[in-house]
Structure 1
Amino acid sequence: MKSRIKSFATAGMLTVLCACATSPTGRNQVLLYSETQMAEMGGQAFSSMKEELTISNQRVENSYVQCVAKSLTPYVPQSVFSGEWEVVVFEDEQVNAFALPGGKIGVYTGLLNVAKTQSQLAAVIGHEIGHVIAHHGNERMSTSTLTNLGTQAVSQVISSNEVAYSDAIMAAIGMGSEVAITLPFSRAHESEADLIGLALMAQAGFDPRESVVLWQNMEAASNGQQPIELLSTHPAPQSRIANLQANMTGALNDYQQTTTRPNCH
């Protein structure tokens, strides 16, 4: 009987936790960490990356990326981050970018070979900011806590003010290894960030239709090596394109209504 009561109590606790927050697209989320903790972890991770990776010293490259990023960040809700965003260009062939809690944005120079216009770059940076707006790092860490450590550890996390090491936040934005839980969950995050980024770039005056061209470029750059969607942490390009096109009407409306037109060429 005691074990049954304990099971019911655990289930009740998990239900409460799962309903504690709602994402911008209406999903229930588990968010166990405070904004202060997430911002501190984001800052730690970003500082580590700046020490370990080569920062680009190309003036034109930096100016271009800064212009696109700074055109987007004013449209981020103040509740997410109200300060000045730090934007760094890393000299690396990776076709990638990232954003971290606490107002940190990193762009790898390899991305500029695929994101060929300012609007395409805005689609990527907007997507990465979308992860921060939707608290995906917090949600991913919180889910990991629930999955791996159990309810006793959850209670300790909630009551503790300690901030984890920077590798925790890097794991939260990185790839998972469990097909049954981590990968589908990550694909949901990616699709959600696509839509948030689409709205963000349109509000900032970047052409949202370029987001579709971006993923066509991504697919071409993969040379047919894209892993099958079931075992990928990211949706396949065609799935992303379909998702973006299905939500393009609202984005185009936002784009046409704003008088802002960034000039980051």
Structure 2
Amino acid sequence: MVLKPLQKLAAILLGRSIRKWWRVLPQNRRQLMRDWVRKHRWHFAAGGGAALVIIALLLLTHLDESPVTGRVRLLVFSREKYRELAVLTSEMHLEEFAESLLPDSHPLHQMVEQSVRLLVQRNKDIPQVSEVPWSVHVVESPQINAFVLPNGEVFMFTGMLEAVADTDQLMIVLGHEMAHAILEHSAEQASLSHIVDLLSLILVTAIWALCPGDFLALLGGWAKDKLTELMFNHPYSRKLESEADRVGLQLAAKACADVRAGPVFWQQMELADQLTGMPTSPEWLSTHPSHRNRSSQLDRLIPQALELRENC
């Protein structure tokens, strides 16, 4: 986290230094530089091609098959490192919510724990489920939120428990959040961000080197950040959310939940937003699919999920 802004600052300073160096360069020296680059253009092209081949080979060595779905994705971080990070993150959250955690004997905690236990028992055929020591924490907070860390730590907020109508909807929500952990979405998203950040450093250097002034360079950097967000980060995040919806529905179906509760839950969430007057952004500006699209996707998956539920 600390390195990213430092790397960006270094790229800005490098680009700005190149621009200043070029400005003070005499006209004859500039022409000599242009001629030299033109003369050696094929060497630059060959070097660039070789670099692209090396990068492609490095990326190929980090391709991984996603659990459950079999989708091929890029993982540049080792699972061991990410599990260590998950332990630190869970400790941080436990300290953060220490005063708000419901006791294990509380009915809401027991309800969530029973639902998680059922989901785990019925999905033990998945190694990423059976090999993880699942643990439940219920946070007393009006926030409508829940998340599951890669080390199996489940955090459920009482605001979410008020938003679900029954245990079937609760299992749909838990299935979705557990799917994120099972599919290692956080590691996958961090891998994409790492690659995008490295490419961004090259673009930042080029922007600050080529723009005639600092204001235009700042404007170009802002535009680059927004385009990266809208063209890469947000669409990829929505893709992972949709995948977690799909896999989470399968987990809930195998645990005998009424999967028809899934689309209904997102219809409820859409209605709640309308009744409270909560402003909603267009989907392309969000990291999550719209409530309506999530409901529609789950609706299309219901027949397949009901077949899966017959064997529970």
Q: TM-score range by the shorter chain?
A: 0.7 to 0.9
Match of 1:71 among 93, 118, 133: 118
Distance 2:178 2:128 in 1: 14
CA distance in 2 between counterparts of 1:242 and 1:6 reads 44
Q: Please, which of 81, 85, 91 is the counterpart of residue 41 of structure 1?
A: 85
Instruction: Show the counterpart of 1:94.
Output: 143
* Deviation for aligned residue 1:207: 0.6
Q: TM-score, normalised by structure 2?
A: 0.69
SS in structure 2 at match of 1:144: helix
The reply to whether residue 7 of structure 1 matches residue 58 of structure 2 is no
1:106 aligns with 2:155: yes
What amino acid does structure 2 have at the position aligned with 1:229?
E
State the alpha-carbon separation in 1 of the partners of residues 256 and 193 from structure 2.
37
Distance 1:187 1:83 in 2: 26
Aligned twin of 1:165: none
Amino acid across the alignment from 1:34? S
Q: Cα distance, 1:60 vs. partner?
A: 1.0
Taking structure 1 as reference, are residues 81 and 143 closer, same or farther at Cα in structure 2, changes over 3 Å only?
Answer: farther
Cα 1:80–1:112, aligned 2, differ >3 Å: closer, same or farther? closer
- Corresponding residue to 2:254 among 192, 203, 213: 203
SS in 1 for 2:310: helix
1:192 is matched by which residue type in structure 2?
E
Match for residue 102 of structure 2 among 56, 76, 82:
56
Aligned partner letter, 2:87: G
Aligned pairs, number: 231
> Which whole-Å CA distance do the structure 1 matches of 2:110 and 2:310 have between them?
26
Q: Which amino acid aligns with 1:62?
A: H
* 1:3, distance to aligned residue in structure 2 (A): 2.7
Deviations 1:32-70 (A, max 9, x none): 223222222112111111111221237111111111111
Q: Unmatched 5+ residue regions in structure 2?
A: 1-45, 200-227
* Cα RMSD for the two superposed structures: 1.9
2:289 paired with 1:243? no
Q: CA deviation at 1:23?
A: 5.4
The one-letter code matched in structure 2 to 1:97 is A
Residue 229 of structure 1: how far off its partner (Å)? 0.6
Structure 1 residues 101-138: Cα deviation after superposition (integer angstroms, max 9, x where no partner): 11111001100111110010111110001111211011
> CA offsets, 1:154-210, max 9 Å, x none?
xxxxxxxxxxxxxxxxxxxxxxx8122111000000000000000000101111001
Where does structure 1 lack aligned partners over 5 or more consecutive residues?
Answer: 151-176, 259-265
The residue number in structure 1 matching 2:182 is: 133
More helix by share: 2
**Within 1, Cα distance between the matches of 2:61 and 2:293?**
33
Q: Distance in 2 between matches of 1:240 and 1:256?
A: 24
* Secondary structure of the structure 2 residue equivalent to 1:186: helix
Residue 24 of structure 1 is matched in structure 2 by 68
Confirm or deny: 8 A CA contact 1:81 1:103 kept in the other structure.
Answer: no
Identity within the alignment, %: 32
Closer, same or farther: CA 184–86 of 1 in aligned 2, 3 Å: same
Measure, in 2, the Cα distance between the counterparts of 1:242 and 1:25.
Answer: 20
Show the 5 A alignment for 1:217-232. 217-223=268-274, 225-232=279-286
Contact (CA 8 Å) 1:202, 1:251: kept in 2 or not?
yes
Mapped to 2, the partners of 1:61 and 1:111 lie a distance apart of 11
TM normalised by structure 1 equals 0.81
1:83: how far off? 3.6
Is 1:192 the equivalent of 2:243? Answer: yes
Alignment partner, residue 163 of structure 1: none
Shift of 1:219: 1.0
Question: Deviations for 1:222-265, whole angstroms, at most 9, x for unmatched residues?
Answer: 2253321110111011111111111111110121222xxxxxxx
Superposition deviation, residue 16 in structure 1: 4.4
SS in 2 for 1:71: helix
